[in-house]
């Protein structure tokens, strides 16, 4: 705790002091701080703090401190300094200082529409990641127990009860993923959170089938081919539906008298949203989702081994640059669509190989650093490698490969071999989250061994390519 207290003190100092912090929150590995005046921030000073692995300048200042610690540091900052525990400032409703609102608006003005859209997606799904991981692990082990029970390897009420409990925990989240997505979407769009959850629930509720049948849009023989059915459009439809809800709700509040707002606004908003969802959003987003799945099948679910190898290699090789550009958040809806419509996520295991390539590259650099007697670099790599094996890549990326430049590229080129293998062998996951060895329980049991082999190939690939292309003088000249 004392070490966290000193870390917090240094972070606050480099951010510009307590008075310059509007709110604090965290994701898996990062402390997210909303500043009042970005001009007061000493970014170089932040990066040089001992326990800080990296700093990302986005809408919030993201300070990478590692898994587990990010949550502890955020909680301690909020408890000790009484900072606001809110990830986003609602400009329309906040009574905060007008300068903070102005700064928030200005910080968004220089961002492209694509960048803003990707950050919006991230803000919707990042809070769900712990539940996604936990549910996926329980689903995976529940499926494994089911196979072992069916095969007769395990028997008895104890194992059957364990399987049921695991399935119960996994289904409690994944079965109602649309509702959680609706709630978090409402937070981002400024709608009432409970109503956003209801929009998500509408998309998976049984009466959708009755309504579809009434309109002649339901295919009883092949329900998945229906123009309108439960789950049609997936989370894309839910996000669009909640956006429409937010627009209707805000418009209603402008015209409905205060005395009637509590009754009229939610009732009318939900009614109009439900009609638009059923007649327009779900069919259209369902068509887009179906098209996307067919398109993905060409590249990431192809029966052609050449296509599988090429797509797996390319995706793994370019993933880390995508992360640096913030484009990886755009993949989250694709993960969800794959999970909903294909029963497993094949894209996530392939992209997870990128972190393994970094590990292999770092080992190669460590050996070259010994040749040049660079003790500082050896110490950094030795401290970051355990996290790298466990799928936490920030220490290696920000502390080793990216500052050196060329190893960041060679790591990706080596990781591609692991991605090619994972794609070729059809590795699939029951959820997504951290990569590396800790992702093994997330894999569908029959593909776990191939995921592990893919990691080993990526380790070796990153090591070999970096060893060949990086010379000891590249480290001393960096």
| Helix (H/G/I), strand (E/B), else coil: 212 | helix
| Helix (H/G/I), strand (E/B), else coil: 86 | coil
- Tell me, rounded to whole angstroms, the distance of Cα 89 from its chain centroid: 21
Which is the catalytic residue, given 8, 12, 15, 27? 27
Q: How far apart are the first and last CA of the chain?
A: 36
The reply to whether 27 belongs to the active site is yes
Pairing of strands 30-35, 61-64: antiparallel
Do 352 and 436 meet the contact criterion of CB atoms below 8 Å apart? yes
Distance CA(111)–CA(108), nearest Å, equals: 5
- Tell me, rounded to whole angstroms, the distance of Cα 315 from its chain centroid: 17
Distance CA(22)–CA(34), nearest Å, equals: 5
Long-range CB pairs of 250-256 (<8 Å, 24+ gap) are 250/190, 250/191
Distance CA(449)–CA(421), nearest Å, equals: 12
C-alpha distances out from residue 164 to 115, 143, 168, 202, 422, Å: 42, 10, 6, 27, 30
Select from 181, 149, 146, 147 the least CA-distant residue to 167: 146
Which of the residues are catalytic?
Answer: 27
């Amino acid at each position: 705790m004392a070490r966290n207290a000193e870390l917090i003190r240094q972070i606050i100092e480099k951010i510009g002091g307590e008075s310059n912090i509007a709110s604090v929150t965290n994701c898996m590995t990062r402390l997210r701080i909303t500043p009042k005046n970005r001009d007061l921030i000493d970014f170089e000073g932040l990066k040089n703090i001992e326990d800080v692995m990296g700093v990302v300048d986005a809408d919030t200042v993201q300070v990478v401190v590692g898994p587990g610690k990010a949550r502890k540091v955020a909680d301690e900052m909020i408890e000790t300094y009484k900072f606001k525990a809110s990830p986003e400032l609602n400009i329309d409703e906040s009574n905060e200082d007008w300068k903070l609102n102005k700064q928030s608006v200005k910080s968004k003005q220089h961002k492209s529409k694509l960048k803003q859209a990707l950050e919006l997606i991230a803000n919707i799904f990042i809070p769900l990641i712990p539940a996604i991981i936990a549910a996926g692990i329980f689903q995976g082990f529940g499926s494994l127990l089911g196979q072992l029970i069916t095969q007769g390897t395990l028997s008895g009420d104890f194992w059957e009860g364990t399987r049921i409990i695991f399935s119960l925990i996994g289904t409690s989240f994944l079965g109602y993923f649309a509702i959680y997505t609706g709630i978090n979407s409402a937070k981002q769009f400024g709608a009432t959170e409970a109503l956003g959850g209801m929009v998500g629930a509408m998309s998976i509720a049984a009466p959708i089938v009755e309504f579809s049948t009434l309109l002649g849009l339901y295919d009883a023989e092949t329900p998945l081919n229906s123009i309108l059915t439960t789950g049609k459009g997936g989370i894309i439809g839910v996000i669009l539906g909640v956006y429409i809800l937010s627009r209707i709700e805000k418009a209603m509040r402008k015209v409905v008298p205060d005395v009637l707002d509590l009754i009229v606004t939610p009732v009318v908003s939900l009614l109009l949203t439900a009609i638009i969802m059923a007649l327009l959003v779900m069919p259209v987003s369902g068509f887009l989702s179906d098209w996307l799945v067919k398109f993905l099948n060409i590249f990431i679910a192809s029966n052609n081994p050449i296509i599988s190898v090429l797509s797996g290699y390319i995706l793994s090789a370019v993933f880390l640059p995508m992360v640096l550009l913030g484009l990886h958040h755009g993949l989250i809806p694709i993960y969800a669509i794959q999970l909903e419509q294909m029963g497993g996520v094949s894209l996530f295991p392939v992209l997870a190989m990128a972190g393994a390539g970094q590990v292999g590259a770092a080992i190669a650099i460590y050996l070259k650093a010994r040749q040049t007697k660079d003790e500082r670099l050896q110490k950094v790599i030795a401290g970051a490698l355990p996290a790298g094996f466990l799928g936490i890549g920030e220490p290696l990326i920000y502390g080793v490969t990216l500052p050196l430049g060329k190893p960041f590229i060679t790591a990706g080129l080596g990781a591609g071999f692991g991605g090619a293998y994972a794609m070729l062998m059809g590795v699939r996951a029951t959820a997504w989250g951290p990569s590396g060895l800790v992702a093994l329980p997330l894999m569908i049991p029959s593909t776990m061994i191939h995921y592990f082999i893919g990691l080993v190939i990526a380790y070796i690939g990153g090591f070999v390519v970096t060893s060949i292309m990086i010379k000891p003088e590249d480290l001393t000249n960096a």
